[in-house]
Amino acid sequence: MNTKLHAICDSKGRPLNLFVTAGQVSDYIGARALLSSIPNVDWLLGDRGYDADWFQGALKDKGIRACIPGRKQRKTPVKYDKRRYKRRNRIEIMFGRLKDWRRVATRYDRCPKVFLSAVALAATVIYWL
């Protein structure tokens, strides 16, 4: 069983919202699910998997500037702030710290709800307690 974990983090790299999808599902599904829970911020950093015109338009409608590099298959390149994009390492560090918990890293739980609960518990202990 393969899963993908999508997260919204604050500027310090602490997870605010988590969402699990199947591993073969596109990142657009996770983006659509988490769109309504994005807090009122100035910038949103995301990786290439979240590069879609509808997503960037939805962020612009909310008054959020997107810092998401374009996919390699794009006909017209997308401009993004490369210096600001380097701060995305905080998100990668957050995923790495979650994977320090063996249960999360090895995905012992078969049920996605139980796996998401384990991830939420790990995030709560690591970042919020």
pLDDT 10s digits, 46-89: 988 899 899 999 999 999 999 999 888 888 888 888 899 998 89
pLDDT tens digit sequence for 85-102: 998 899 999 999 999 999
Phi then psi dihedrals of residue 88, to 5 deg: -65, -10
pTM (2 d.p.):
0.84
Decide if domain 3-128 falls under CATH 3.40.50.1970.
Answer: no
Return all residues near 124 (Cβ < 8 A) that are at least 6 apart.
none
Query: Domain extents for the chain?
Result: 3-128
Given a cut of 80, whether residue 121 has pLDDT beyond it is: yes
Given a cut of 80, whether residue 1 has pLDDT beyond it is: no
